[in-house]
Chains A and B, each alone.
Chain A
């Protein structure tokens, strides 16, 4: 039996994809940032949160009428930090980027909280 205590940690997951929008003739990027305070083994939590996040991300892509192959979707984590308590709610923030001229510009949607299942 393992004697390790799994302290809650903050997980910061970013799922993103970049594509070329032929209508506006501009490169675009969609980023969804997930922040969750969860307890458990880091590898296991990362794996399940990634699966959960990817379904949210794909839903967002469908809503925008986009079809993106899996290989073009990146899911990456920042370093975990200790959280005071675990929280079943995940904060989700969406950022849309667009290449205007030679510069990326971004639009941020208001953050929302979703119950982590």
Chain B
């Protein structure tokens, strides 16, 4: 197969995680704490976490600041319990310079629920509560 040199991809501000397991409420809460801690360790602040239910488990969309390089984002996703096969495919896509390397498939009209919001984001989006 012909190989192409690795291309610099734009930084990404959204991590997409696929967890094929049903999490109890308590474990889900601990998982979000873990997400915030791991991102903090990698110098990224978690702004918002959205979640959708799937047949096998859950999808998480994690908005972070500052955005990180594609390779770093894929590693972070893996550290946040993303599917291992997905990590391998994403790595190949990033190496090939594929712009939309992080794929997360959803049924039509999948409902996203915000389950975590950074205090600063919450204050900015809900000005009444600031008074």
Contact = CB atoms under 8 A, between A and B. Distances in A.
Contacts of B92: 97, 103-106
A87 interface: no
Prevailing SS type, chain B contact patch: loop
B91 A104 contact: yes
A46 B93 contact: no
A22 to B, nearest CB: 16
Nearest to A95: B98
Interface in A27-48: 33, 35, 42-43, 46
Given A33-B100, A106-B92, A79 B106 contact: yes
Contacts of A113: none
Q: Is the interface of A mostly helix, strand, loop or mixed?
A: strand
Contact of B105 (A78, A96, A105, A107): A78
Contacts of B75: none
A98 B96 CA distance: 12
Interface in B86-102: 88-89, 91-93, 95-98, 100
Contacts, number: 61
Contacts of B3: 105, 107
Interface string A89-107: 0000101111000011111
A78 B103 CA distance: 7
B100 A108 contact: no
B1 interface: yes
A77 to B, nearest CB: 6
Interface in A51-86: 76-80
Contact of B96 (A46, A76, A79, A108): A108
B129 interface: no
A46 B105 CA distance: 13
A107 B108 contact: no
Which 4 A-B residue pairings sit nearest by Cβ, starting from the closest?
Answer: A106-B96, A76-B105, A106-B92, A104-B92
Interface of B: 1-4, 52, 88-89, 91-93, 95-98, 100, 103-106, 108-110, 112
Interface of A: 12, 14, 33, 35, 42-43, 46, 76-80, 93, 95-98, 103-108
